[in-house]
């Protein structure tokens, strides 16, 4: 075990530091580090050429980091999932590269799962189910899901089982995550992301408690049953232990499976609007917020029995929820009303109330939460985005704003960051 721990530690540090800080290949064209590219800006006369260099550097380092996360597995994949949804912070080359981590992860063996059942329930798998598929239908960073048939009722269920090795590796992996971000801060003090590892240390114990996840799922299920015409489905929960969760089996397709939507006559705009209503209800209503809404946790299926929509939206993975204080819900609502009204004074007031944003930080914060140039935010955020504005926003991260945004997000309350994850659904 000591050898494995040492090997894992060295693998993480060597690859992360060597690849992303100093380059990995001896070919100069392939080893441009961020430091080299950023320092070359003043020397590069061709702005378009420098932007191309920066985008290539983003893509190169994103692919290298993806390999590191995949090789280390466990919570490093969970970290990659978080990063894949941080469109408000990271360049598209990073978020797009990490999308496969949302639903393509390593699997645990059937034998390891069988032993975990015995350890946690005192009985083998066969004592609980008539049929249990040995191969999972999906594997994520913390768990995998098997189809099974309940022994007492014959119901078809989805059995979510935690990767058994996490019990050993999570404490070490959290320490490695802290070390990785502190090392990043040492080399690049202007890009302090230690708040991300702090958030993981707080959220991971909740996500690893499947009994808590079962309770969260039932709360959300009952809440949305009361909302007329809501297309949201949350699978029912049959029973749960800390590392095992047995749920109703409801299958669907990813919401970005456009071929499925189009072939089934499901309107893309309706799906987008329905998702917005669902998560707005969690943010502004009277129920906790699902804080891990990436593409692997949301599915859609056709349903012609509904009156308002012809589809169901299925929400999985209820391990990470947070309660939003009532006053913050109200202030956040007032912030968006001010945005809609182009009320700059109101925006500044409620940006400070919600996130402690100062007047100097406000233009950057406003652009980050809306994805619009600050001038558009203060005139009409509902106006059509011009090609010029798109170029301004996409190029801003290379002009020092990424550094400022990282510093800003390190100061805002963690619940605000979790709310922002819903912005790009």
Catalytic residues: 292
Is the Cβ–Cβ distance between 317 and 297 less than 8 Å?
A: yes
Backbone angles phi, psi at 33, to 5 degrees: -85, 165
The kind and range of the H/E element at 314 are strand 311-315
Q: If 0-12 CB within 10 Å is exposed, 13-18 middle and 19+ buried, where does residue 138 land?
A: middle
Determine the Cα–Cα distance for residues 424 and 255; give it in Å rounded to an integer: 13
Closest CA to 167 of 70, 52, 261, 75: 75
Three-state DSSP state, 171: helix
Pairing of strands 253-254, 298-302: antiparallel
Determine the Cα–Cα distance for residues 20 and 62; give it in Å rounded to an integer: 9
Three-state DSSP state, 248: strand
Closest CA to 337 of 329, 346, 345: 346
Determine the Cα–Cα distance for residues 297 and 245; give it in Å rounded to an integer: 16
Q: How far apart are the first and last CA of the chain?
A: 41
Is the Cβ–Cβ distance between 355 and 365 less than 8 Å?
A: yes
User: 265: phi > 0 → left, psi -120 to 50 → alpha, else beta; which?
Assistant: left
Residue ranges with strand state E in 155-292: 156-162, 232-233, 237-240, 244-248, 253-254, 289-290
Closest CA to 415 of 343, 325, 352: 325
Pairing of strands 311-315, 232-233: parallel
Distances (CA, A) of 414 to 93, 155, 198, 240, 418: 25, 40, 10, 29, 7
Burial 45-57 (b: 16+ CB within 10 A, else e): eeeeebbebbbeb
């Amino acid at each position: 075990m000591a050898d494995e721990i040492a090997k894992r530690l060295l693998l993480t540090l060597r690859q992360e530091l060597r690849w992303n800080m100093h380059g990995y290949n001896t070919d100069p064209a392939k080893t441009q580090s961020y430091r080299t590219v950023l320092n070359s800006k003043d020397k590069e006369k061709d702005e378009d050429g420098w932007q191309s260099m920066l985008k290539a550097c983003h893509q190169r380092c994103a692919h290298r980091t993806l390999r590191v996360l995949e090789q280390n597995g466990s919570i490093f994949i969970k970290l990659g999932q978080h990063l894949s949804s941080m469109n408000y912070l990271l360049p598209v080359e990073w978020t797009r590269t990490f999308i496969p981590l949302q639903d393509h992860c390593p699997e645990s063996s059937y034998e390891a799962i069988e032993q975990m059942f015995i350890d946690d329930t005192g009985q083998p798998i066969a004592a609980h189910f008539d049929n249990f598929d040995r191969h999972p239908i999906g594997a994520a960073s913390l768990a995998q899901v098997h189809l099974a048939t309940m022994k007492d009722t014959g119901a078809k269920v989805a059995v979510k089982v935690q990767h058994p090795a996490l019990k050993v590796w999570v404490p070490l992996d959290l320490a490695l995550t802290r070390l990785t971000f502190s090392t990043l801060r040492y080399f690049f003090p202007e890009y302090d992301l230690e708040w991300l590892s702090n958030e993981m240390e707080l959220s991971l114990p909740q996500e690893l408690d499947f009994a808590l996840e079962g309770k969260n799922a039932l709360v959300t299920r009952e809440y949305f049953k009361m909302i007329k015409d809501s297309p949201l489905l949350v699978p029912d929960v049959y029973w749960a232990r800390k590392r095992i969760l047995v749920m109703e089996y409801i299958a669907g397709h990813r919401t970005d499976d456009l071929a499925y939507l189009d072939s089934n006559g499901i309107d893309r705009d309706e799906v987008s609007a329905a998702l917005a209503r669902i998560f707005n209800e969690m943010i502004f209503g009277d129920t906790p917020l699902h804080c891990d809404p990436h593409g692997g946790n949301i599915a859609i299926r056709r349903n012609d029995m509904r009156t308002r929509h012809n589809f169901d939206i299925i929400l999985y993975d209820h391990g990470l929820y947070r309660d939003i204080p009532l006053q913050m819900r109200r202030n956040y609502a007032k912030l968006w009303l001010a945005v809609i009204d182009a009320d700059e004074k109101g925006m500044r007031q409620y940006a400070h109330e919600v996130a402690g944003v100062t007047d100097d930080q406000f233009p950057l914060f406003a652009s980050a939460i809306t994805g619009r140039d600050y001038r558009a935010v203060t005139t009409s955020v509902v106006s059509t985005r011009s090609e010029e504005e798109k170029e301004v926003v996409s190029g801003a991260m290379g002009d020092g704003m990424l550094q400022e945004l990282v510093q800003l997000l390190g100061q805002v309350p963690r619940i605000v960051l979790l709310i922002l994850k819903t912005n790009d659904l």
